[in-house]
Chain A
Amino acid sequence: MNSILIVDDSNSMRLMVEQTLSSAGFDITAAEDGEVALDIATNRDQPFDLIITDVNMPGMDGIALIHELRKLDEYDTRPILVLTTESGEDKKMAGKSAGATGWIIKPFVPDKLVAVANQVVHG
């Protein structure tokens, strides 16, 4: 079973993403901000197959999280998707420069989110 780490400061949003992806057969772990996510990711035996992160969060935001993850050997090529309300080109470019694999604008459509997750995890 492929594993996904979901990072979002909104409890409701985490629940929706978690339920959507767990119904599709993924093993889900959730974190409420970048610092917690980084801690979980670095203290795990096996790296997550996919990380899905929000951008605007208290403490470490999504872009900073991607920067930190890409410094780690186990996450230098793992897919990282950004799921956000941000649609501005400057933020998107910042995410791309940090090493994001893709950019999805909320609100998400459940079926489409599952399709994108499968696409980036399985190639």
Chain B
Amino acid sequence: MIARSLYCELASYCEEDTVSENTATAQSLLDLTVRDNRRVMDELTKCFVELSHRIDILNAQLSNVGGDAAADPAHLATLMQVNEVQQLINEHIEHMQVHDITDQRLVHIARLLADGNVNPESVVAEERERELIEMLSCGMEATAAVELIHALPIKKHVTELF
């Protein structure tokens, strides 16, 4: 629903007689990615995965406490807090992935725009990206494209074994 309503709203760009400047739009998209701050992104990623690893160890140690100590309310409260921290870190790791995925999509779309390859049958990942390329070709600004791609719902860890 969100995707469709945003699409309808932004598709109005296509009705305007806008001169298509795909190369400039592609550059604007690239300017909005964090590719120039890749080192910062990598450092943040390292930080979160390291924290996750250490919390895992702490969790395992706390879970191995036996005897009366295991039933101690203070111990149980600590265990619960550690689990909450683990959950929080996992959420941040997921956010980092979403930023990374969005960045890759923007670079992909920018590349297709710059190459003039905006054919709907080109190697674009999904329908929503094809729509985005269409709208960008019709004059939608790069900042609006980024907002749109962030607003779209994402599938998460859907696994299919063949």
Contact = CB atoms under 8 A, between A and B. Distances in A.
A113 interface: yes
Contacts of B155: 87, 105
A112 B157 contact: yes
Contacts of B6: none
Contact of B160 (A85, A102, A107, A119): A102
A112 B159 contact: yes
State the main secondary structure of chain B at its contact with A. Answer: helix
Given A86-B126, A88-B125, A120 B100 contact: no
A23 B53 contact: yes
A106 B97 contact: yes
A11 B94 contact: no
Interface residues on A, range: 20 to 34
A113 B157 CA distance: 8
Contacts of B101: 85, 106-107
Contacts of A56: 104, 108, 123, 125
B31 interface: no
Contacts of B125: 56, 85-88, 91
B156 to A, nearest CB: 6
Given A12-B41, A16-B96, A56-B104, A107 B157 contact: yes
Interface in A90-111: 91-92, 96, 100-110
Interface string A32-57: 00000000000000000000000010
Contacts of B159: 102-105, 112, 116
Contact of A15 (B45, B158, B161): B45
Given A87-B158, A112-B159, 13 more contacts: A12-B41, A23-B52, A87-B126, A88-B126, A101-B161, A102-B161, A104-B158, A107-B94, A107-B101, A108-B97, A109-B90, A116-B161, A119-B161
Interface of A: 10-13, 15-16, 19-20, 23, 56, 85-88, 91-92, 96, 100-110, 112-113, 116, 119-120
Give the top 4 A-B pairs by smallest Cβ distance, nearest first. A19-B49, A107-B97, A102-B161, A105-B158
